[in-house]
Amino acid sequence: MSDFALPIFRPQEVHALLAESLAAPDLAVPIMIWGAPGIGKSAVVGQAAAARSLPVIDLRLSQLEPTDLRGIPVHEQGRVRWIPPEELPQAERDGAQGILFLDEINAAPPPVAASAYQLILDRRLGAYRLPPGWIIVAAGNRLSDHGITFVMPAPLANRFLHVALTVDVPQWLDWAAVAGIDPTIQAFVRAESQWLSVFPAEADIMAFPSPRSWAFASQVLRRRGGWAADAEPMVAGCVGRAAASALAQFAAGESTARAWLDDPAALPPDLPLTEQLRASQLMVSAVHAGRLSLAEALTLAPRLADARIGFGVIEQLHEYAGDRLFDEPAFSAWVALRGDQLPPSATVGA
> Would the pLDDT of 293 be above 90?
no
How far is 306 from 276, CA to CA, in rounded Å? 8
C-alpha dihedral sign at 320, 323, 328, 331: positive
Structural domains of the chain in order of their starting residue, each with its CATH number: 3-166 (3.40.50.300), 170-341 (no CATH)
At 205-247, the pLDDT tens digits run 788 899 999 999 999 999 999 888 899 999 999 999 999 999 9
Per cent of the chain over pLDDT 90 is 37
How far is 70 from 85, CA to CA, in rounded Å? 7
Cα-Cα-Cα-Cα dihedral of 310, 314, 317, 321, to 10°?
160
Residues 6+ away with beta carbon under 8 Å from 282: 191, 250, 253, 254, 256, 257
At 190-206, the pLDDT tens digits run 888 999 988 776 656 78
Residues 6+ away with beta carbon under 8 Å from 174: none
Per cent of the chain over pLDDT 70 is 84
101: phi then psi, degrees, rounded to nearest 5: -105, 115
How far is 235 from 238, CA to CA, in rounded Å? 5
Task: Tell me, rounded to whole angstroms, the distance of Cα 238 from its chain centroid.
Answer: 15
How far is 316 from 318, CA to CA, in rounded Å? 5
Instruction: Tally the residues of the chain.
Output: 350
pTM summary value: 0.70
Reported as half-sphere exposure (CB side, CA atoms, 13 A), residue 2 has a value of 2
How far is 266 from 299, CA to CA, in rounded Å? 14
How far is 158 from 317, CA to CA, in rounded Å? 50
Predicted pLDDT of residue 34: 92
Could you tell me the pLDDT band of residue 152, with boundaries at 50, 70 and 90?
confident
